[in-house]
Chains A and B, each alone.
Chain A
């Protein structure tokens, strides 16, 4: 019975959450209130772990919540259920794309959609830059002492490197990870 309910609840999240991985959160908070599967405190722990392990946060939290509720089988149920609605939609949308390929309407939609998608990505970069490097949330609380100068330095170095050479994304991530440890060298002894 728990499994069925688990599948149903996660399929519901998959169907109704739009946008980034964090769009699934309101549903999970609701879930922690209605069922005794996990507490609010456990949910925030799951969220922290989910955001530092590979994979989209929304999917990771589902795997984790499923595990907390009913073990490995539970996490399998939750992960599959949350993706099921998307899979159905992907098939429908792809079929439509094939049918309307080269139609002027689709071309027109894509002409508008491409710069918009690029802008949404740019906005993510912009927001991340201000959140994790400059630590600047509103105009009123801007202060130079809040700027993470080490992060700014790493950012500039990586930006210059990226302009000169085109490398595998993995190398940037690895470089960032190593720089993270080296620039906070004191932490190892603390």
Chain B
């Protein structure tokens, strides 16, 4: 079954409008819209795209959604997803550009974002819980999780962690093959 481009676009517009407080919120939103509601992709695929989105230059959220769009409908899909994602933020910025000063002084705006920030932490925790079951499958993957977590907490750049993980993935298969011979 082919996914309609118009539907893909509209779902991405929705995701773009809800993408508050940092690009990583793209993961729970994609899981919700692409996997739970529509069964277009699996959770594993989405977490794979998120991982790859970090090794591609540019901004993570659009990278992730473009990879997902490409998987669904090729180049046009990727472009459609990108356009959809950018639409709401683009309009919001243009609309707000004129009253920057007033908005920054608004205390209520700050209160709203105070609450949204806490909700975002919950959303990320939920996502980690969800991807846990498909990504941490044995002791080795648990160890990898722990090492990457600590490395990131102590300030190693995510891009470097991901690149090392990819290299390790390559080397690991060479070792396994060597042992079998």
Binding site for B on A (CB under 8 A): 14-21, 24, 45-46, 48-60, 63-64, 67-68, 72, 75, 79, 82-83, 85-87, 89-91, 93-94, 104-105, 108-129, 132-133, 151, 154-155, 158-159, 162, 168-170, 172-173, 175-181, 183-184, 187-188, 190
Contact = CB atoms under 8 A, between A and B. Distances in A.
Contacts of A113: 48, 51-52, 162, 165-166, 169
Contacts of B104: 45, 48-49
A183 B107 CA distance: 13
Nearest to B95: A53
Contact of A86 (B19, B56, B131, B148): B56
Interface string B98-113: 0010011001110111
Interface string B34-54: 000000000010011011101
A82 to B, nearest CB: 7
A160 to B, nearest CB: 10
Interface in B126-174: 126-128, 131-132, 134-136, 141-142, 144-149, 152-153, 157-159, 161-162, 165-166, 168-170, 172-173
Interface residues of B, number: 101
Nearest to B89: A55
Interface of B: 16-29, 32, 44, 47-48, 50-52, 54-63, 66-67, 70-71, 75, 78-79, 82, 85-86, 88-90, 92-94, 96-97, 100, 103-104, 107-109, 111-128, 131-132, 134-136, 141-142, 144-149, 152-153, 157-159, 161-162, 165-166, 168-170, 172-173, 176
